Amino acid sequence: MQKKDLCYAGKAKKLYTTDNPTVFWVEYLDQATALNGAKKDQVVGKGALNNQITSLIFQQLKSEGIPSHFISKISKTEQLVECVEIIPLEVVVRNVAAGSFSKRLQVTEGTPLCFPVVEFYYKEDKLDDPFINDDHVKLLKLATGKEINDIKYLAREINVALQRIFTQIGIKLIDFKIEIGRTKSGQLLLADEISPDTCRLWDLATDKHLDKDIYRRDLGDLVPVYEEVLNRLENQFLVE
């Protein structure tokens, strides 16, 4: 497989075309950002950690029947994925109050929610990724009514599978963000990444933060924390 043209440069990843028109080449970068890019730092090793964590989680999800764009990890910082059109939505699922949910609704961080809450944010940097509802999604023609239902169903299934994965390694899944891609034939696939950048992960015994809040809230160095998450996943699930 040959890496060809750069087709998208994001905050934490670059996407390249390949000699196969149905396959993209993803490179994970050593960059940490928060506050929609207002806070930005080079963090050596972060790209490799997130690529390895995402690859392991996507493999595990695939074995549990969750359809995704993931094909294979090809190096510590690179993976191959199926070509999809990314729906410009950040789909957030919450099990425990935290972050913007706690701020917006004044619910103390750490309060368990009696059912998983699914939220949509419009992925549009110049608008600061606003919180939107199903009608907005339809009005903006981001997804059809049926797709909205399918996305919510998939998000809840992924939540169940992820909770099972993280519980086995002594981690509580507080919340997470996913992105969904649409194939040429219209199938919806889990896309992008699932890593401590996109999840809130608290140690089951101590509630210690094992995620990007370390960086967002200036709580210390994120590399050893992400290494701990990768080590726990590898000890439990690595079959290579």
Binding site for ligand C5P (CB under 6 A): 90, 92, 98-101, 129, 175-177, 198-200, 212
Helix 145-168 vs helix 222-237: crossing angle, to nearest 10: 90
Residue pair 173/166 in contact (Cβ under 8 Å)? The answer is yes
3-state secondary structure of 168: helix
Q: How far is the CB of 98 from ligand C5P (least distance, A)?
A: 6
Closest CB to ligand C5P among residues 199, 210: 199
Minimum CB distance to ligand C5P, residue 198 (Å): 4
Q: Which of 181, 159, 175, 164 is nearest to 213 (CA)?
A: 175
By beta-carbon proximity to ligand C5P, the closer residue of 25 and 101 is 101
Q: How far is the CB of 211 from ligand C5P (least distance, A)?
A: 7
Burial state string for 94-125 with b = 16 or more CB within 10 A and e = fewer than 16: bbbbbeebbeeeeeeeeeeeeebebbbbbbee
Position of minimal CB gap to ligand C5P: 99
Q: Which of 87, 81, 97, 78 is closest to 154 using CA atoms?
A: 87
Q: What is the smallest separation between the CB atom of 16 and ligand C5P, expressed in angstroms?
A: 22
> What does the alpha-carbon distance between residue 82 and residue 132 come to, in Å, rounded to a whole number?
28
Our CB check for ligand C5P shows the closer of 147 and 211 to be: 211
CB closer to ligand C5P, 218 vs 240: 218
For ligand C5P, the closer CB: 52 or 196 = 196
Cβ of residue 195: shortest distance to ligand C5P, in angstroms? 9
Helix, strand, or coil (residue 228): helix
